Copies of this chain bind each other. A is one copy, B any other.
């Protein structure tokens, strides 16, 4: 079981399964990518929904064992990448941004988001910027496709101004706010990243082909989907979680009441990133979504680049949002939840006693307890661990719009 095989398995899973699957994500985290691939390839102890979804793709691979599928798909992907001047990264690679893994948190509150939002398993990149590094100082600028002149002005100002200050401008290469923000950043000679909902070989929308090519040459094109993949509505929403997770904060420049950009802001809020929106005239339909966001808690009104930088500068990497619906236990994985259930409220017990009650190994209990302490669920005492008397903290409620 080499690192190379694990990497190949992650790559293979990344093309066999549509991105964001919580079931697959939990399986990979619990059992590792090799066993996950094996189960997916043989439709073994996975849901019928997942088995049905991957059936055609597994069959198309045309080989029997999971190791063979993994190796063959990974090889084919590497060839494709080379052909398109791209590279592929997984969590095993240095260029992988760990911030993407914060999406585990969003995925575990999927009941609130009403969609699967697990982290990507592999990502295709094209361009000179290093992904993890360029995201260290980054902000998303997103919004409506059908912008007004006002929205175009603001997107261009913010794109230019942020990039000029050395901040990477991340957006989705769409018409309207996205492309205008990218262009602003390119105009200043600063860094910009386009996260796409299609293959790295596609220039979608066609009207933005020249800008997308320029970003591939000077900035960075990013996608979870293999070459040849067409974008569609579901993929845009799936892609939006990556835009939110990748950056310190998201600014919505203009948005109608049902704009997809509002979902990006909802993800940002859920992930503890800075959620920002630009006000506009109250009689402009393209500002209605921004004003709806600004009437919520934890959304900052921004009118200038320095206000954006001030807001993202104050965001802790792992700040856990604690308002709205959803229970704090939602952030725990099944093992951690089981260990937590075995901790007693008043009398402290040792990790071994807790392991016995939980029916887990002493090692699993000892591994889980420090996180539970850090999250405030459990208090460590000289005699062992007991439950903290925690106020009923909750996770920010988010709806997909």
Residues of A within 8 A of B (CB): 150, 153-154, 278-283, 287-288, 291, 294-295, 300-301, 303-304, 307
Closest to A278 in B: B282
The docked-state distance in angstroms from the alpha carbon of A269 to that of B279 is 22
Closest to A299 in B: B301
The docked-state distance in angstroms from the alpha carbon of A129 to that of B224 is 67
Q: Judging by beta carbons under 8 Å apart, are A282 and B303 in contact?
A: yes
Q: Which residues of B contact A291 (CB under 8 A)?
A: 279, 301, 303
A315 to chain B, nearest CB (A): 16
Counted per complex, copies of this chain come to: 2
Given A291-B303, A295-B300, A295-B301, is A282 in contact with B279 using a C-beta cutoff of 8 Å? yes
The docked-state distance in angstroms from the alpha carbon of A150 to that of B303 is 18
Q: Judging by beta carbons under 8 Å apart, are A304 and B279 in contact?
A: no
Q: Judging by beta carbons under 8 Å apart, are A150 and B300 in contact?
A: no
Q: Which residues of B contact A279 (CB under 8 A)?
A: 279-282, 287, 291, 294, 301
The docked-state distance in angstroms from the alpha carbon of A300 to that of B301 is 11
Q: Judging by beta carbons under 8 Å apart, are B301 and A294 in contact?
A: yes
17 CB-based A-B contacts, threshold 8 Å: A153-B283, A154-B282, A278-B282, A279-B280, A279-B281, A279-B287, A279-B291, A279-B301, A280-B280, A281-B281, A282-B304, A288-B303, A294-B294, A294-B301, A295-B300, A295-B307, A301-B301
Q: Which residues of B contact A280 (CB under 8 A)?
A: 279-282
- The 10 A-B residue pairs whose C-beta atoms are closest, nearest first, are A279-B279, A282-B303, A294-B301, A291-B303, A295-B301, A150-B281, A280-B281, A281-B281, A291-B301, A278-B282
A308 to chain B, nearest CB (A): 12
Q: Which residues of B contact A154 (CB under 8 A)?
A: 282
Closest to A284 in B: B281
The docked-state distance in angstroms from the alpha carbon of A279 to that of B295 is 11
Closest to A296 in B: B301
A285 to chain B, nearest CB (A): 12
A150-B281, A279-B281 given. 8 additional CB < 8 A pairs? A154-B282, A279-B282, A279-B294, A279-B301, A280-B281, A281-B281, A291-B301, A294-B294
> Which of A281, A304, A307 has the largest number of chain B CB atoms within 10 A?
A281
Closest to A253 in B: B282
The docked-state distance in angstroms from the alpha carbon of A371 to that of B278 is 44
A263 to chain B, nearest CB (A): 21
A306 to chain B, nearest CB (A): 12
Q: Which residues of B contact A150 (CB under 8 A)?
A: 281, 283
A160 to chain B, nearest CB (A): 15
The docked-state distance in angstroms from the alpha carbon of A218 to that of B4 is 84
Closest to A292 in B: B303
Q: Which residues of B contact A304 (CB under 8 A)?
A: 282
